[in-house]
Copies of this chain bind each other. A is one copy, B any other.
């Protein structure tokens, strides 16, 4: 089968690989219909993720059709149309039983990381019963591809951890795909204000279309002042970090109001300065989280009921044969105005 393979730092290739097979009774093999590329895949390609060995098939998102199931799989059968969660969950360990699937003793983020992933024609899914979700017949594929990772990430790490609530004032720092997914799901709770902060004017324009009530272009270096002015000097109830660098994390610390929350989504490569000399008395809550995908069923309901326009994030489409080009398009996001790309194998809806 065709697969996008990591060859070591800076090198990727569309290669031919053998089709995966059932290895454990709890496995399923899924034929991929549509997949996508994540910012994390770009990090892997830079060599920043040491758990990913060369020759790994990348990808941890996608929608497909179950091809085959191990004998202990009871919730799915051949032919079922499924959403693949970016997090594999055994359903049995202490962390799975407390809803922290991201730290599953045997699973967690393993697809396209420690085992082969979804940017291929087929993928083996461990713990299929608790890592796949049945897609309703009547609905198209696209929004569910967006529910493999990016929407649960924005919703769990940003909106839920941030305790966004009716009437609250929210700032989202970073208007990339994750920031925009956060923006869309933050609106589930009817906050009074959602301020988007980014350097890219096009992304801020998209943010306004997606429901931001205010936008701040931080290229001026005066984002703190701008946010404080928009909030009458008080700061925001919720500051969501959706970039992953010290500067944006720093910004969050200076715009959050007393009693507020800083919810980190960004994948950080280095430490940041925490201004405890100021924050110790500010009654702040700061959260970090690797997405657990515990809200996938809930998010599927919001798609079904028409309350989450998840497919809005999709800007470009490719066939699997053009996946190298898809990566180029995604990597140069600003130039191409890319948000999320779809890579199709065949026969999607």
Residue-wise, chain A 299-310 has the 8 Å CB interface mask toward B (1 for contact) of 101101101000
Q: A4 → chain B, closest Cβ, in Å?
A: 24
Residue-wise, chain A 182-202 has the 8 Å CB interface mask toward B (1 for contact) of 000101111011000000000
Interface centre among A103, A187, A190, A292 (most CB of B within 10 A): A190
Contact B280 A271 (CB under 8 A): no
Contact A288 B271 (CB under 8 A): no
Contact A288 B259 (CB under 8 A): no
Query: Contacts A103-B259, A130-B91, A167-B298; is A277 near B285 (CB within 8 Å)?
Result: no
How far is A96 from B258 in the complex, measured between Cα atoms in Å?
A: 13
Q: A75 → chain B, closest Cβ, in Å?
A: 6
Contact B285 A281 (CB under 8 A): no
CB contacts (< 8 Å) of A193 on chain B: these are: 305
CB contacts (< 8 Å) of A103 on chain B: these are: 258-259, 283
B165, B266, B302: which contacts A280 (Cβ < 8 A)? B266
Interface centre among A97, A185, A299 (most CB of B within 10 A): A97
Contact A167 B301 (CB under 8 A): yes
How far is A283 from B160 in the complex, measured between Cα atoms in Å?
A: 12
A100 at the interface (CB under 8 A from B): yes
